[in-house]
Chain A
Amino acid sequence: MLDLHEIQATVLRQRPAPYFGTHVLLRVDDARAGRKFLSRLTPHVDSAAGWWKAANAWLAVGITYSGLEALGVPQDALQSFPEAFRVGMAARARQLGDDGVNDPKNWEPAFGKGEIHIGVSVFSDSEEKRQRALAIARQQYEGFSGVQVLAMQDFGAQPGDRNSLGYKDGIDQPPVEGSGIEPLPGQGRPIKAGEFILGYPGEAGVPLPMPQPDILGRNGTYVGFRKYQSRVGAFNRFLHENASSEQERELLAAKLVGRWRSGAPLTLAPDVDNPALGADPQRNNDFNYANDPRGRQVPLGSHIRRMNPRDTQLTRLSDINLHRLIRRGTTYGPPYAANQLSKEDDDVARGAIFLFISAKAMATMEFLQREWVNDGDFIGANGERDPIIGRQEAGATFTVPKEPVRRRVHGIETFNVLRGGEYFFMPSISALNWLANSGT
């Protein structure tokens, strides 16, 4: 059984639909003030007890490595964190394939400099509750000279619960063993909790290494925070250049992702969209690729098939249950529209901030970025990258398998550009109290 009272709610609780929220990124200039802030904030951080019923807004809190340093966490505890976390996401750009337009030197100024110390996220199902929860968070840091807000980003579902490229997203999540409710149809067998929460056995039967002392690490996890900006104009131009009617454009858009924009999976709705299917959580993820080994329905290189290959025969010995992330996608900025075709539409501040949650988030993100996002060898599509989140080279292509011969679509660009990112440790409730009371 999991200590649900200890684990932060956000690890298990999905964002509501519709959703409203805010990310607040803070810097701690004075260790004592930072710890005081944590001790005041912690009573308002929701645990995962009863995570499946969320009546009110909830807060999540994460701390970066430089944040732990700024809070005055003892040296031996600091050294017990894994190296990729200690050096931070920007310093791991090579391992993450964050180069070219995604290079940390092109990031928004707040990110990648070791200045973001604490992240607080508010999630809720109404704007009014968001305001209330944000006010509670604000009361804990306002008036403290030693804690500064570096950046704030409101987020919220677009009309129809769509993301910045017009898709319903966040459908497929890995089921966590022992979390208390049955997986949805098609979610697969529950994955050992230790893959997602520190202190429990993982898929290999042993717990992953955990920060010390025990109270600091246990029931905590890591969060990869990544802010993407969607180049909506480029995406729409690509669809227009490669498809001649709205119907064809929607089919091409579906082939890139593996789902229609409604969320209906191509496996279950191969030729025409089925919005009722897309909206039904009991059905919209209930499929595998047994009858589609070559990707004639869902291209092997499509976004959802890359991120969860399910029963796809891969070219490399892989255990897909080791490479899953819980993700909390949070869309920001104005909604998508299919007629936004200009270069100016590329520069509008809109996109998604993802929280990628796992007990080994750093290693998993490096694996995914290198093997499944920015390469195609694992599916026998050498050189092709994920059409949605890949960092594309000039001349990039996307292969749509079909009879009698495959179609190779040209003009794929980097449609989602990375604008910043950080690794956070998401401590348990007890660890938050420990952090608030320890330090030098």
Chain B
Amino acid sequence: MDTQTKTSPSPKRDQALQKIQQLRDMFADAPELGKTALENVLRELTSDASETPPPPVESAGRVGSRLGKVSELTIIVPLAPGGARRLRAFLRLLHGNLKRGGDLVGTLHDMRFVFLDNDTKLLFATSYDGDWDAYIDDFATKIPDYLDIIDSAWDGWPGIRSPGAKDYLAKHQITADGWYVAHPDLTVAEIHRLKRIGKAVDELLEKVG
């Protein structure tokens, strides 16, 4: 039986068509250039339909999204009075580069600190390996001071040693609706390993060649 030419639509395809229709409805009152762009992109997406679509994002545990081994964390916290001033001065001492702390943790791909709304709020965002809360207890005994310098700028922060720390973070974390990772299968540790192997192979080829 040739299933390729079967016309009876699958429930999955029905769902996709429904989503596309909803999208078109929502774009009905969008500016003209938005509408045109949408039609162009929809055409592109449908012509790619023969390829397997990339897997959907998963949950990174309690909050946040994950692709493969890499998760995202975005939090927006209210700042305590004077918090922005203190935290900014600390970040300036490091010339804005968090390499030292980041390297120490070993699971962080990146992090950023952005002050919002006249220094009344802070956006902190990071990409990291694994589950949301696996290592938070370890931070509390290994690098509590780094964390409490940063987090004491936050309004209502209970302290990293407090059993309430995880709840505070979860309360202020916002799960990303869209998320992209170039190499979802590569953890920071694995990247280090591959770099070592690459270097060793290069050295070997130098000797042979």
Contact = CB atoms under 8 A, between A and B. Distances in A.
Interface of A: 203-206, 208-209, 314-319, 321-322, 363, 367, 370-371, 377-378, 380, 382
Given A315-B189, A382-B189, A204 B134 contact: no
A317 B106 contact: yes
A204 B142 CA distance: 9
B135 A317 contact: yes
Given A370-B131, A377-B187, A315 B143 contact: no
Interface in B169-209: 187-190, 192-193
A156 B89 CA distance: 63
Given A315-B192, A370-B131, A377-B129, A382 B187 contact: yes
A316 B161 contact: no
A367 B134 contact: yes
Given A205-B161, A315-B189, A322 B143 contact: no
B44 to A, nearest CB: 35
A321 B141 CA distance: 10
Given A377-B189, A382-B187, A317 B143 contact: yes
Nearest to B129: A377
Nearest to B161: A204
Contacts of B129: 316, 377
B69 to A, nearest CB: 8
Nearest 5 pairs between A and B by C-beta?
A315-B189, A316-B106, A204-B161, A319-B138, A319-B141
Contacts of B135: 316-318
Interface string B120-144: 0000000001110011011111111
Given A315-B106, A318-B135, A208 B163 contact: yes
A363 B106 CA distance: 21
A370 to B, nearest CB: 6
Interface in B93-140: 104-107, 129-131, 134-135, 137-140
Contacts of A380: 189-190, 192-193
A324 B187 CA distance: 25
Contact of B138 (A205, A315, A317, A370): A317
15 contacts: A203-B141, A204-B137, A204-B161, A208-B163, A314-B106, A315-B188, A315-B189, A317-B107, A317-B143, A318-B135, A363-B137, A370-B131, A377-B189, A380-B192, A382-B187
B203 to A, nearest CB: 14
A203 B141 CA distance: 7
Given A206-B162, A316-B189, A322-B141, 5 more contacts: A204-B141, A208-B163, A315-B192, A316-B105, A317-B135
Interface of B: 69, 104-107, 129-131, 134-135, 137-144, 161-163, 187-190, 192-193
A314 B106 CA distance: 9
Contact of A377 (B138, B161, B190): B190
Nearest to B101: A317
Contacts of B141: 203-204, 319, 321-322
A81 to B, nearest CB: 14
Contacts of B162: 206
Contacts of B137: 204, 319, 322, 363
Nearest to A363: B137
Given A204-B140, A315-B192, A316-B135, A371 B106 contact: no
B86 to A, nearest CB: 24
Contacts of A314: 106
B154 to A, nearest CB: 19
Contacts of B131: 370
Contacts of A319: 137-138, 141-142
Nearest to B106: A316
Contacts of B190: 377, 380, 382
Contacts of B138: 317-319, 322
Contacts of A206: 161-163
A316 B192 CA distance: 12
A95 to B, nearest CB: 8
A72 B62 CA distance: 31
A370 B144 CA distance: 24
Nearest to B138: A319
A208 B166 CA distance: 13
B134 A382 contact: no
A377 B187 CA distance: 8
A331 to B, nearest CB: 31
Given A316-B106, A316-B135, A319-B141, A209 B187 contact: no
Contacts of A316: 105-107, 129, 135, 189
B27 to A, nearest CB: 38
B84 to A, nearest CB: 27
A371 B134 contact: yes
A91 to B, nearest CB: 15
Contacts of A371: 130, 134
A367 B139 CA distance: 14
A209 B137 CA distance: 13
Contacts of A382: 187, 189-190, 193
B73 to A, nearest CB: 16
A300 to B, nearest CB: 12
A290 B192 CA distance: 22
A378 B105 contact: no
A310 B187 CA distance: 23
A335 to B, nearest CB: 38
Contacts of A208: 163
Given A377-B187, A380-B189, A317 B134 contact: no
Nearest to B186: A382
Nearest to B188: A315
Contacts of B189: 315-316, 377-378, 380, 382
Contacts of B187: 377, 382
Interface centre among B105, B129, B187 (most CB of A within 10 A): B187
